[in-house]
Amino acid sequence: MTVATRPRTAQRAGLLFDLDGTLAITEHLHRAAFNALIGDGEPLDAAAFAQQVKGRSSVDVIGVLFPASSAQERQRLIAHKEATFRALAVQHGLVPTPGLRTLLDWTRTSGIATALVTNAPRANAEVVLDILGIAGAFDVVVSAHDLARGKPHPEPYLAGLAALALDATRALAVEDSLVGMASARAAALDVIAITGPASEPGVTNGAAIAVCDMADPRLLDFLAARFGRAA
């Protein structure tokens, strides 16, 4: 664990955000990057991507797609795939989820701590945040390089809570995938489910609230009531 931790403060509140599919729709670029890696093999269609890839770490995905590869070869494949994703993101751009900037502004003015918690490499997170124009918007970034185990294991969200000195009862995760929700719930976090165009069936099950995007007026009202802040 390389993420710095802070002394725990009982009254502090926070939001811990997923990256891919939550801050912006990136599935099409990740799928293109994996299919470029697969080459002449069976390409991932939308259904296969949802089943084998969505929400999971590249380490896990490469192990499924290339089961006969050595550990060294898998690291090379991962590096190539992630570099391809970053190039595609820069080339094609990304659009922030509606309401994202307003929500981040509200967290800042309301004194709500924020973390980005992702299975992606830190370089991916930095590129995506830069493209979206929100670099520096999060108090803490927890990436794949900080973790021994990725989502759906609870370690990513436990690391985010520790880094922000938050108790799970005073925090919420913002997620769009079943894998991400499982990670957050295993870390004792309630979850805000984002049910965008790429969300999986059942992603709303067990969510504290489900919204199609962050512009839903119910979201700020929910958060204000939950954290005792003005909407």
Taking the complete model, does pTM exceed 0.85, yes or no?
Answer: yes
Q: What are the beta bridge partners of residue 132?
A: none
Question: Which pair of structure tokens corresponds to residue 117?
Answer: 């918690």
Question: Worst-scoring range by mean pLDDT, 54-68, 95-109, 134-148, 165-179?
Answer: 54-68
Specify the domain boundaries for CATH 1.10.150 within the chain: 27-92
**Is 27-92 a CATH 2.30.29 domain?**
no
Please give the sequence-ordered ranges of beta strands (E in DSSP) within the chain, or none if there are none. Answer: 14-17, 113-117, 140-142, 171-175, 190-194, 209-211
Specify the domain boundaries for CATH 3.40.50.1000 within the chain: 14-25+95-227
User: What number is the average pLDDT over the span 139-150?
Assistant: 93
User: What number is the average pLDDT over the span 105-127?
Assistant: 96
Q: Is pLDDT larger for residue 122 or for residue 40? A: 122
pLDDT at 216: 96
Please give the order of strands across the beta sheet that includes 209-211.
140-142, 113-117, 14-17, 171-175, 190-194, 209-211
Question: Alpha carbon of 178 to those of 128, 139, 196, 205: distances in Å?
Answer: 22, 25, 13, 9
Average pLDDT, the chain: 91
Per-residue pLDDT reduced to its tens digit, 153-193: 999 999 999 999 999 999 999 999 999 999 999 999 999 99
Per-residue pLDDT reduced to its tens digit, 3-23: 655 544 447 899 999 999 999
pLDDT at 152: 94
Which CATH class for the 14-25+95-227 domain? alpha beta
Spatial CA neighbour of 9 closest among 156, 163, 136 = 163
pLDDT at 198: 65
